[in-house]
Every structure is written in structure tokens, then in C-alpha cells.
Amino acid sequence: MVLYSTGCPRCKVLKAKLEQKGIEYTENNSVDDMITIGINEVPVLSVDDRLLNFVEAVNWINEQ
């Protein structure tokens, strides 16, 4: 699981939610990587090869 983040306020919210749930993840802050895979808005959580936007990621975390 990868969290694509730039450290924005919503990125921090998503990080906090992941940590509260004890979900392990790696963080990628490379804008070049994000552009390469088509991310144009952060945060994005990559789960099982699916890219989840902020709302989708929050819903996914809450279901865990």
C-alpha cells in the first residue's frame, strides 16, 4: 500500500487515519512518480493496484 502525498493538510489527515488504524503503508512524495502514473491531485492511496482519491481512501480506511 502506497500513500502518494505532498504533505498537504488532507495528506496529513489520511496519514493520521492510517496510523490510528495501524495500517502499514509506505509514503511516496515524488511528484515525478505521481505524474507518471496519472495522479493529478493528492492524496492518493494505492490499494491492491487501485488508486483511491481522498474520499475513497477515507471510506476504505474506515471499513478496515
Give this prediction's pTM.
0.93
Q: Which residues contact 4 (CB under 8 A, 6 or more apart)?
A: 28, 29, 33, 34, 39, 42, 43, 44, 45, 46
**Cell of residue 50, nine digits:** 487501485
The domain spanning residue 10 has which CATH number?
Answer: 3.40.30.10
Number of domain units in the chain: 1
Reply yes or no: is the peptide bond before residue 43 cis, omega within 30 of 0.
yes
Encode pLDDT of 4-60 as tens digits: 999 999 999 999 999 999 999 999 999 999 999 999 999 999 999 999 999 999 999
Q: In terms of residue numbers, what domain contains 39?
A: 2-63
The DSSP call for residue 5 is -
